[in-house]
Amino acid sequence: MINFERFTLNNGLRVLVHEDPATPMAVLNVLYDVGARDEDPSKTGFAHLFEHLMFGGSVNIPSYDEPLQRVGGENNAFTTNDITNYYIQVPAVNIETAFWLESDRMLSLAFSEKSLEVQRNVVCEEFKQRYLNQPYGDVWLNLRPLAFKKHPYQWATIGKELSHIEDATLEDVKAFFAKHYNPQNAILVVAGKVTLDEVKRLAEKWFGPIPAGEKYQRSLPQEPTQTEGRSQTIKAKVPLNAIYKAFHIGDRKSNTFYPTDLISDILSRGDSSRLYRSLVKEQQLFSEVNAYVSGDMDPGLFIVEGKLVEGVTIEAAEKAIDTELERMKAELLPADELTKVKNKIESTMVFSELNLLDRAMNLAYYELMGDAASYNKEKEKYQAVTALQIQEQANAIFADTNCSTLYYLSE
């Protein structure tokens, strides 16, 4: 259970406050409602590039890290296809420094050719190292456009191709900032040894004067229902053959998310999960195998992936995966297996609530989904899932016509 208070500034910035007097620390988390799905198809990778640019200094604070380190703080950020999230952790007595830093770069990020060139080079190098020059690194660069034909989930957060980042101009960057980085498009969460009155005073002081900006109205092309199976084969210098199967599923806010998420855990969470026990341990067809959901704001993907043991054919390996998926469709899940996987989910959520930063980020994310208070009902929603709902969802997902398969073969 995460208790919090909520208020909104006149410029539209939503602020959530979670008081925890038991810790000497405080977290300031800013979630911007912008991700890779909001990019121009001819200028992808901008949300992630901007994550880097935000650390290049603002008009009044040339060095972002220096004053933060002086007060014993640390910071980081991440970008997904749906959001960009920034956070600062500091001793609670220094929380105003975090307000100062985050508000200044929301108001007046320093745009310069030098900063853009530095961060562009950093992101290009990341693209090469993580996606182009690493074994299996380009899986998502190929699997996403295979599964999505209309929706912007067809590209990864790093972007469609390297040239989009290489060709980014200062005008492009300024336009992206003006469109997405404003109070109306952000959620601020302050958690830790703080009080509601203190946060109200600091939020008004540092964020209140920032102009609201124009509210971004999202209008994305919807992905049509997939009506036939798709496949692609890639040959590369990788140690083992691999299979990636992507099935379309509902969005994160739909009621079908909970049985779908439980299915992924039944198949792949831990050494006693179905795929590991059958395909790795007993049949010894795979060296590793995983199943997981993307959990996207718009309808996303259920992924089953695995790396084959040397000498095993792609046909035999894929047939073994399909057998386990068909079993999910044909048989009602035993009660003890369902209870076990629900308990694992609940324990994970309980442990995440012990971490102050996790609490702050969860409040921001669930507020974006509609209401931060809904986080406190998550355990109940998982516990309410029945074996029949899991079987029905397995039948809805695991159809050949709903599947895009990437065969990744070793040269």
pLDDT at residue number 141? 95
Distance CA 298, CA 147 (A): 14
pLDDT at residue number 60? 85
The fold of the 230-410 domain, in CATH, is Cytochrome Bc1 Complex; Chain A, domain 1 (3.30.830)
Distance CA 191, CA 88 (A): 11
Q: Where are the alpha helices (DSSP H) in 55-94?
A: 65-70
| Contact of 287 with 236, CB cutoff 8 Å | no
pLDDT at residue number 113? 85
User: What is the residue-level pLDDT of the chain in tens, covering all 411 positions?
Assistant: 899 999 999 999 999 999 999 999 999 999 999 999 999 999 999 999 988 888 887 888 888 888 899 999 999 999 999 999 999 999 999 999 999 999 999 998 888 888 888 889 999 999 999 998 999 999 999 999 999 999 999 999 999 999 999 998 889 988 998 999 999 999 999 999 999 999 999 999 999 999 998 888 899 999 999 999 999 999 999 999 999 999 999 999 999 999 999 999 999 998 999 999 999 999 999 999 999 999 999 999 999 999 999 999 999 999 999 999 999 999 999 999 999 999 999 999 988 888 999 999 999 999 999 999 999 999 999 999 999 999 999 999 999 999 999 999 998
Which tokens belong to 162?
A: 């390297």
Distance CA 241, CA 98 (A): 47
| Contact of 191 with 359, CB cutoff 8 Å | yes
Distance of CA 327 to the CA centre of its chain: 30
In which order are the strands placed within the sheet that holds 242-248? 230-236, 403-410, 242-248, 301-308, 286-293
Which tokens belong to 378?
A: 């998550």
CATH architecture of the domain 5-208 equals 2-Layer Sandwich (3.30)
**148: DSSP letter:** -
Rounded to whole angstroms, the maximal C-alpha distance in the chain is 66
| Contact of 226 with 246, CB cutoff 8 Å | no
338 class by beta-carbon count within 10 Å (0-12 exposed, 13-18 middle, 19+ buried)? middle
Same topology between domain 5-208 and domain 230-410: yes
Instruction: Identify which of 102, 83, 105, 85 has the alpha carbon closest to the alpha carbon of residue 33.
Output: 83
Cβ contacts of 153 within 8 Å, gap of 6 or more: 37, 81, 144, 147, 223, 296, 298, 300, 301
Distance CA 408, CA 411 (A): 10
pLDDT at residue number 10? 97
Domain ranges of the chain: 5-208, 230-410
Distance CA 247, CA 281 (A): 25
pLDDT at residue number 51? 87
| Beta pairing, strands 286-293 & 301-308 | antiparallel
Q: Which of left, alpha, beta for 57 (phi over 0: left; psi -120 to 50: alpha)? A: left
- The single residue listed with the structure tokens 């009080």 is 195
pTM of the model: 0.94
User: Which residue spans within 117-256 are E strands per DSSP?
Assistant: 186-192, 230-236, 242-248
